Amino acid sequence: MKMKPSLFLQLECPLLVAAVFITGIGGTFQYGFNIAVMTSPSLFIKELVNTTSTERYGLPLEEWQLTLIWSFLVSIFCVGGLLGSLLAVQMGKKYGRKQCLLMNNLVAIVAAVLMILSKRAVSFEMIMVARFLYGVNTGVILTVHPMYLVESAPKNLRGTVGVTTATFSSLGKFFAQLLGIKELLGTEDLWVWLLGFSGFVALFQLFTLPLLPESPRYLLLNRGDQEGFERAVKRLWGSRDYSVETQEMLQEKIELQDIKIHSVMELLQSRPLRWVVLTVIVNFVAIQLCGINAVTPNSGGRVHVMFLWGLQAVAVGSIGRKKLLIGGYGCMAVTQMLLTITLNLQDHVKWMPYCSIVLIFLSIFSFSCGPSGVTMSLLAEFFTQSYKPAGYALACSINWVGLFVVGMVFPLLVKHLESYCFLIFLFFTIALATFVGINVPETNNLSPLEIQEAFRKMHSKTEKGGGPATPCGTTDNEIHGLKCQTKL
């Protein structure tokens, strides 16, 4: 009974509940908020861009130029996100999770000041820099916030606490939309305060976060600070017995010491892993190009993709990964084909718009049933412990770069192709389903090494003169990594 993540237990550790709120509000809330915030003041921002250009450079802008700059303002957020997420791991290690989150708030505050002053200074460049800084802030948050929470929770609450990151992200999106209405901050005079709102949120976290202890796990494993660990744990978890967790952490540390962690370059250059890496890359690129971001504005699906992959991976556990991918993308291809037809008939047949809506819904549904969960679980399933960090960094980079590129290109594409834009996505979904069908073995219930072996078997036939194949690049490290993984 004691092991249940009940409300009772959560009330037993009030500081943990406080930690959830404090890190959440300054955490993934910011992500959701910044993803959604640009929509409502878009007209005012475009006006400012045009005014800046006219007054300062004497160049009134045309519609398409304005669209291009607008897309850039929205998407440069992702470039910052990439930088932030690449910095986050090192910073989190060096300064600790708490310090890292604290300093990160300063970035958001600087961004907010730039946003608030941009209109008075008649400078859309300030919005650009601020969006970039918000991106850096968010990139750090998406890495360190879940890390801090999961590390600070006792084992039986880890799942519950981890899911709150998704909750706060949705909350952020909701707030951005709420504050963006005309009655609140969505007006000609007040829109800069809407864009600067994140700064006040960051200010809140800057003053409340010092009340929380550093992540106990970090104190014990990275700092070797037994005393600090015990103090932090007592404060966070109350007076319950935590010897099991402590033992596990120490055990894990011993195991991880012997594993050589490979870099992204080593991952990309590894011959035995070539097809595994290619499959992962193709699948992550596919998420961007399959059109899901086009049908769910503000990349709404992404949050859940990012945070609930674990749950989905469990839910889809019994069906083969390969079948799910092919089925999911296959269904999407069919709906996209039909969508092109219904969108073209929209003006001639009265009830066609309803068909389009149903098809869009079906498309999202096929995506979330198959590809979204599977793609995220690929990382956990395909790589041994020694390659996992590199795998995550690679996937994360593809995600941010992809969001940027799609965010830049898609608005222009829609303008020119209109209802035919789904044909492009159709091409990519079919290509992907084909790639998976030909090049990826079924990997259900296999360990990373078995998966790599399955890939090798599948491709050794087609590769001529590959030389004597090393047994799937099995080094001592990887065997150890596997052992470690099954134990954890």
Tell me if 159 contacts ligand NAG by CB under 6 A.
no
Tell me if 442 contacts ligand NAG by CB under 6 A.
no
**x/- map, 32-51, ligand NAG, by CB under 6 A:** ------------------x-
Question: What does the alpha-carbon distance between residue 445 and residue 418 come to, in Å, rounded to a whole number?
Answer: 43
**x/- map, 82-111, ligand NAG, by CB under 6 A:** ------------------------------
Closest CA to 111 of 135, 144, 88, 79: 135
Tell me if 212 contacts ligand NAG by CB under 6 A.
no
Figure out which of the listed residues 63, 418, 463, 476 binds ligand NAG, where binding follows CB under 6 A.
63
Shortest reach from residue 120's CB to ligand NAG, in Å: 19
Tell me if 283 contacts ligand NAG by CB under 6 A.
no
Chain position whose Cβ is nearest to ligand NAG:
60
Q: Give the other-Cβ count within 10 Å of 153's Cβ.
A: 27
Tell me if 55 contacts ligand NAG by CB under 6 A.
no
**In this complex, which beta carbon is closest to ligand NAG, that of residue 125 or of residue 230?**
125
Q: Which stretch binds ligand NAG (CB under 6 A): 34-42, 61-69, 374-382, 442-450?
A: 61-69
Place of tokens 């996505």: 425
Q: Which stretch binds ligand NAG (CB under 6 A): 54-62, 78-86, 210-218, 464-472?
A: 54-62
24: number of CA atoms within 13 Å, CB side? 19
Q: Computed from CA positions of residues 279, 285, 291, 294, in that sequence, does the dihedral angle turn out positive or negative?
A: positive
Question: What does the alpha-carbon distance between residue 284 and residue 325 come to, in Å, rounded to a whole number?
Answer: 12
Question: What does the alpha-carbon distance between residue 293 and residue 372 come to, in Å, rounded to a whole number?
Answer: 12
Q: What is the DSSP letter of 442?
A: -
Q: Give the other-Cβ count within 10 Å of 246's Cβ.
A: 17
Closest CA to 393 of 264, 276, 305: 264
Tell me if 54 contacts ligand NAG by CB under 6 A.
yes
Question: What does the alpha-carbon distance between residue 412 and residue 418 come to, in Å, rounded to a whole number?
Answer: 10
What is the maximum span of the chain, computed from C-alpha positions, in angstroms? 74
Tell me if 71 contacts ligand NAG by CB under 6 A.
no
Burial category of 274 from C-beta neighbours within 10 Å (exposed 0-12, middle 13-18, buried 19 and up): middle
Q: Which stretch binds ligand NAG (CB under 6 A): 55-63, 74-82, 148-156, 280-288?
A: 55-63
Tell me if 64 contacts ligand NAG by CB under 6 A.
no
Figure out which of the listed residues 10, 21, 39, 66 binds ligand NAG, where binding follows CB under 6 A.
66
Shortest reach from residue 125's CB to ligand NAG, in Å: 17
Tell me if 463 contacts ligand NAG by CB under 6 A.
no
Please give the residue ranges that form the binding site for ligand NAG (CB under 6 A).
Answer: 50, 54, 60-63, 66
